[in-house]
Structure 1
Amino acid sequence: MKHQQHSYFLPVKGYQLHIRRLLPLHQPVGAVLMLHGAIGNGRIFYSQSGKGLGCYLADQGFAVYCADFAGRGRSLPHSSSGFDHSQQQLICQDIPALVRHVAEANQQALHLIAHSWGGVLAAASLSRHPELLPLVQSKVCFGSKRRIRTQSLEKKLKIDWLWNRLAPWLAERQGYFPARRWRLGADDEPRQFLLDCIRWIEQDAFVDCSDGFDYQSAAKSTAWPELWHFVAEKDRVLGHPDDVKAFIAEAHQQQARFSHLGKASGALVDYDHVSMLTHPMAVQDHFPKLLQWLQQLAER
């Protein structure tokens, strides 16, 4: 492992966001902010033993910041304590605070890398707060979609029944969605965030659940940074290629690079929604390609 790790907290309006900072052993060549998806936390990107995309990029010279959203991971307080938090708070408070913090700490524009729902929230935040755009040099998404239109037995089980019915039923009774206890995800979710997420998956309009802000309309005039979307061969529901392409279209990101991670497309493994970030072969497969792209952008 060619980097050092430590944790600290970023205060944001009554709560604290946990950040795991991974620093190379020499002067960083760039800065990366990593945002996780739903029922997850920042650990999707790193481990203490040095595994994960965050660790890989830190070993290659980047200063990497893996954030836990409010109520998740090691952020304080945790959703299981009764702390509630909405999707709009993430878009309008958490992500802007994280972007400004990382950019100021490194005195340069950052590379934003997101998994799944984190990519949707990041797009919403940048389109709603265009003042953040000069601080973001690139945006990379792994399996990011807003609506789930694909139809299958797996979709009916995971989305129609578990996510849309069981999850809110549990959240109403517990005050939060206890995904870890039910082994439905890597982390729990605040109740309001869960309900907001369900609405976005189901509704056609890409508008805010709290005040009706039209993100699709705002995206038309958004000067997006360099973009790259990854999809996985075995990602049949949570980041189906067709749903990712639909999100790219509604966010007006048609200029984005698009890569399909599967053997038929030249990859070493047929990846799924999680393994595209955690599989051991990724360090020989798409991680080096992403690294080369980031290094080229850093040299501009």
Structure 2
Amino acid sequence: MIEERINSISIPLAENAALQVRRFMPTANGPAVLMIHGLGERGDVFCPAHGAGLAPWLCEAGYDVYVADLRDRVSDSSVIPDISQYQLICEDLPALFEQVGADHPDERFFVMGHGWGGVLLASALIRQPAWLERIAGLIQVGVRRVCHQRTWQRLLLFDLMWNRLAPLAGRRQGYLPFRSLGLGAADLSRKLHTDSQLWQNDGNWRDPQDSFDYAAALHEISWPSSLYLSGRNDRCMGHFEDVKAFARELGNHDAQLILLQKGSGSSRDYGHLDVLTHPQAVNDHFPLILSWLARHSDTATP
């Protein structure tokens, strides 16, 4: 039973905060994969039901999978902490790298991001490039920094809901009630929302807290092999053209980009969430991810 191989980990941070991680441990010692969710989501996107989802599926295939929940409220009744993007990039993600690296001291490991989680991952690796020596490969699912599209989905979800209605609700409640607005599975701090807006609205890739210039630092970065996936029905949060633009923004590297659409190896046109949560994904592109991991696992030992 996969439930018997799930280990809960609490990683302490400053200010009495902690990160919660679910570790899906295989029966044999395999390469590690660290999974990071996007804004307004939780790690559940990688394991939406008991025994279902990409995390347990890869565990059954022999991978040691870490599903992180980025810093959030302690409980549904507690106050949303005023988390900044700087804290996630400079504190949360390095702590997760440390945890996986300590558990696999003589191995490289894989990292995977979904949505804005992939931007946070890339940002953390740019700020702490020494970790790139430990990364065997990078998988980005529906990851884009800037939304260049002018579709009705963008007008509704991004321009109206994300940029206008959510901040209005945030001023009244002190946080952005994504769950009640139907925008996600987790509420968001106002500071984190404001920080991400600066980058998503075609702003410079510069940290609003300490002015660190990620775009300038990219010239010194050598990325590992990377796999980029986008669903045909993802018209706003991870549109294929925006995913492609983000891959190009990172610079020259071994990047494979795949559009998941019906008739081209997929049984359906996938969207932003169901690319990970739909039951048919097990047959459509989970094997593709597994094959890509297997091809790069020979680099998992320094």
Q: Distance in 1 between matches of 2:48 and 2:171?
A: 33
Once the two structures are aligned, what percentage of the paired residues are identical?
38
Residue 242 of structure 1: CA displacement? 1.1
Matching of residues 1-300 of structure 1 within 5 Å: 1-2=1-2, 4-14=5-15, 15-24=17-26, 26-71=27-72, 76=74, 81-107=79-105, 108-300=107-299
Q: Are the counterparts in 2 of residues 100 and 132 from structure 1 also a CA contact under 8 Å?
A: no
Query: Residue type of the partner of 2:34?
Result: L
For the residue of structure 2 that corresponds to 1:100, the secondary structure is helix
Distance 1:267 1:295 in 2: 21
Distance apart, 1:48 and its partner CA: 4.8
Measured against aligned partners, the alpha-carbon deviations of 1:230-253 in whole angstroms (never above 9, x if no partner) come to 011111111111111111121215
C-alpha contact (below 8 Å) 2:138/2:227 kept by paired residues: yes
CA separation of 1:78 and 1:130: change in aligned 2, threshold 3 A: farther
- The one-character-per-residue Cα deviations of 1:88-118 (angstroms, maximum 9, x if unpaired) are 1111111111011111112222110110101
CA contact (8 A) 1:70 1:78 kept: no
Cα offset, 1:299, TM superposition: 2.7
Report the more deviating stretch, 95-104 or 2-11.
Answer: 2-11
Runs of 4+ in structure 1 deviating by more than 3 angstroms, as ranges, are 76-80
Shift of 1:182: 2.4
Moved more, 122-131 or 261-270: 261-270
Distance of 1:221 and 1:279 partners within structure 2: 38
- CA contact under 8 A between 2:224 and 2:254: conserved in structure 1? no
RMSD: 1.7
Give the deviation of 1:222 after TM superposition: 0.6
Q: What's the TM-score, normalizing by structure 2? A: 0.93
Structure 1 residues 12, 79: CA separation in 2 closer, same or farther (over 3 Å shift)?
farther
> Any unmatched runs of 5+ in structure 1?
none
User: Which residue identity is paired with 2:30?
Assistant: V
Looking at structure 2, the residues matched to 151 and 17 of structure 1 have their Cα atoms a distance apart, in angstroms, of: 36
- Call closer, same or farther: CA 1:148–1:187 in 2, change over 3 Å: same
* 5+ residue gaps, structure 2: none
Determine helix, strand or coil for the equivalent of 2:206. Answer: coil
Cα displacement string for residues 116-169 of structure 1 (whole angstroms, at most 9, x for unaligned residues): 101111111101111111221111000100111100222111111110011112
C-alpha distance in structure 1 between counterparts of 2:113 and 2:217, whole Å: 20
- How much does 1:77 deviate? 6.7
Provide the secondary structure at the position in 2 that maps to 1:89: helix
Preserved CA contact (<8 Å) 2:10 2:20: yes
Most deviating of 228-237 and 262-271: 262-271
Instruction: Mark the CA change 1:59 to 1:114 in structure 2 (over 3 Å): closer, same or farther.
Output: same
